[in-house]
Amino acid sequence: MLTRRGLMVGGGALLLGGCDRLNQSAGFRELLRSSEGLTMRAQRLIMNRNALAREFSEADMSPVFRSNGTAMPDTPDYARLLAERFESYRLRVDGLVARPLSLSLGQLRSLPIRTQITRHDCVEGWSAIGKWHGPRLSRLLEAAGLSSRAKYIVFHCMDRYGSEPYYESIDLIDAFHPQTILAWAMNGALLGVPHGAPVRLRVERQLGYKQAKYIERIEAVESLASVQGGKGGTWEDRADYEWYAGI
Ligand SMILES: Nc1nc2c(c(=O)[nH]1)N[C@H]1C(S)=C(S)[C@@H](COP(=O)(O)O)O[C@H]1N2
Ligand SMILES: [Mo]
């Protein structure tokens, strides 16, 4: 029987490509076997998780970008923040981090920004192309010192559904994706209230309901089970929407 080492040092071994060599490892064979049960679509989703969402040009931008879900959070706290133009607003980053952060809007706006023109797709059947500006989420997570135990990033919002705040969550692949930003401006102006002022998430490889608006707290967790209904988001808990809403 040929051993892996035998193949590596044998005469023909030098001609073997990386894949042939990988095929010899039990771990890789196991991976192939377990993935046979997955559909092609699921495999493609897994393989392409780091790919970029398409970016558009200024000419493609929608003349009207409608608002959906909450357009004005109706809590006294939000009314107060709005009245003082978010002067005392703080974005908290906490949970499984070494150094919890509490950032004013001024501090958030002083971080280097990414600008991207992307298409937003809502499950209710509408899409719009808009331009978003804000720091990458990864920058904040790095500044906070994300723990190696963290597996998900939860976004707690200032608007409520019933008695609970709107919330959403993503995994670390999406959290560190280059197009995952905390947008504080849209289409060249400060983010308006209907679109999530003062800060909303853009996670461009996923559907509209994942794009959390009115964010006040970003929490790193090991499991989603203990956050609200346990399914990772307001619509996941209430309407059985998929947690991973990849597009
Ligand atoms: N906090 C919060 N975030 C939210 C929602 C919401 O109601 N509250 N609605 C979601 C849905 S379903 C969509 S399609 C988008 C709409 O974003 P827009 O209002 O900027 O178009 O926000 C998402 N994020
Ligand atoms: Mo949506």
Question: Tell me: the pLDDT tens digits for 141-185?
Answer: 999 999 999 999 999 999 999 999 999 999 999 999 999 999 999
CA distance 199 to 195: 9
**Which pLDDT belongs to residue 45?**
62
**Which pLDDT belongs to residue 20?**
42
Distance 55 CA to ligand 2 centre (A): 20
**Which pLDDT belongs to residue 31?**
56
Number of domains in the chain: 1
| 246, part of any domain | no
Residues surrounding ion ligand 2 at CB below 5 Å: 68, 122, 208-209
* Structural domain span for residue 223: 4-239
| 125, part of any domain | yes
| 194, part of any domain | yes
Ligand nearest to the CA of 213: 1
**CATH code assigned at 220:** 3.90.420.10
Residue nearest to atom 18 of ligand 1 (CA): 67
What is the atom index within ligand 1 of the atom nearest the CA of 201?
24
| 172, part of any domain | yes
Ranges of the chain with pLDDT below 50? 1-24
| b/e map 127-142, b = 16+ CB within 10 Å | ebbbbbbbbbbbbbbe
Residue nearest to atom 7 of ligand 1 (CA): 69
- DSSP letter, residue 8: H
Distance 11 CA to ligand 1 centre (A): 61
Q: Could you report the per-residue pLDDT of 69-94, keeping only the tens digit for each?
A: 999 999 999 999 999 999 999 999 99
| 247, part of any domain | no
